[in-house]
């Protein structure tokens, strides 16, 4: 994951080498539910979750199932081409998440490589860290164990619940439905920091207002603005970056 909360840091972005790939994120401090990036002031990240609710009988619900149309994008096409693509799409829809959002996250996090991360516990297509995996499975009563962490179908389900939660936090802060790009900021930096970035009206604001200078330096983001961060991530996500995460 090139600059990946735990899903974990998930932006220790594990990507295939590309000439214009964004810098790789090197985790520094574990953060619940998001990448291990240290926020400004040396905090260890956010521990709160979104407004999801746990269903009964071992199932979990976030919001209503996704009912919108799926955005066509290179990332979506790439997801559909995977052997687990249809299962991942169904998992996103059941969690109330736009499949195009899940696809965009998989593109940025790993280019659909089901691999581990050398610098953190992040693993799989959506680079979910051990702590975030455990927390999400427990919170929503999902039927997975550590043995499922290398199963892309299980990863997609867990990632979809995380995305739904983080996008709810972003929406609560901005008062508007979260876009895929805004939700990814929460996925990378944690829900509170991601929500603050989404609510920032001045795109020329230095990114180090919200993320520690050390973390930015470690990942080649020193001197970046909020707008530069969003622009870089949008270029990596493609056309799906502006898609809304939920349908209602």
Q: Is residue 34 part of a domain?
A: yes
Q: Looking at the predicted structure, is the pLDDT value of residue 71 above 90? A: no
Considering its fold, how many domains does the chain have in total?
A: 1
Q: Is residue 220 part of a domain?
A: yes
Q: Is residue 176 part of a domain?
A: yes
Average pLDDT, the chain: 78
Q: Is residue 246 part of a domain?
A: no
Averaged pLDDT, 197-217: 94
Range 97-131 burial, b when 16+ CB lie within 10 A, else e: bbbbbbbbbbbbbbbbebeebeebbbbbbbbbbbb
Going by pLDDT thresholds of 50, 70 and 90, the confidence category of residue 243 is very high
Domain around 19: 1-239
Q: Is residue 24 part of a domain?
A: yes
Q: pLDDT per residue over 145-179, tens digit each? A: 999 999 999 999 999 999 999 999 999 999 999 99
**DSSP 8-class letter at 43:** B
**DSSP 8-class letter at 150:** T
Going by pLDDT thresholds of 50, 70 and 90, the confidence category of residue 67 is low
Q: Is residue 67 part of a domain?
A: yes
What CATH number is attached to the domain comprising 174? 1.10.530.10
Q: pLDDT per residue over 121-153, tens digit each? A: 999 999 999 999 999 999 999 999 999 999 999
Taken in order 16, 19, 79, 37, the sign of the CA dihedral is: positive
Q: Is residue 248 part of a domain?
A: no
Per DSSP, the three-state class of 52 is coil
Q: Looking at the predicted structure, is the pLDDT value of residue 42 above 50? A: no
pTM for this structure? Answer: 0.75
Averaged pLDDT, 66-73: 65
Which residue in this structure is represented by tokens 């996925």? Answer: 187
Q: Is residue 244 part of a domain?
A: no
């Amino acid at each position: 994951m090139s600059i990946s909360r735990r899903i974990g840091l998930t932006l220790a972005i594990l990507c295939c080498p590309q000439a214009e790939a964004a810098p790789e994120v090197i985790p520094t401090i574990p953060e619940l539910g998001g990448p291990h990036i240290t926020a400004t002031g040396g905090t260890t990240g956010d521990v709160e979750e979104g407004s999801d609710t746990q269903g009964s009988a071992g199932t979990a619900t976030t919001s209503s199932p996704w009912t919108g149309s799926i955005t066509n994008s290179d990332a979506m096409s790439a997801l559909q081409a995977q052997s687990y693509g249809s299962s991942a799409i169904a998992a996103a829809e059941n969690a109330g998440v736009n499949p195009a959002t899940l696809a965009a996250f998989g593109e940025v996090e790993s280019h659909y490589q089901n691999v581990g991360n050398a610098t953190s516990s992040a693993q799989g297509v959506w680079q979910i860290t051990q702590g975030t995996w455990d927390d999400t499975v427990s919170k929503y009563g999902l039927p997975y164990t550590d043995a499922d962490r290398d199963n892309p179908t299980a990863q997609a389900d867990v990632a979809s619940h995380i995305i739904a939660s983080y996008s709810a936090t972003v929406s609560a802060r901005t008062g508007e439905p979260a876009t895929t790009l805004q939700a990814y900021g929460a996925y990378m930096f944690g829900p509170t920091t991601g929500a603050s970035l989404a609510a920032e009206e001045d795109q020329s604001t230095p990114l180090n207002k919200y993320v520690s200078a050390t973390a930015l330096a470690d990942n080649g983001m020193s001197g970046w603005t909020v707008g530069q961060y969003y622009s870089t991530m949008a270029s990596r996500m493609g056309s799906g970056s502006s898609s809304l995460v939920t349908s209602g």
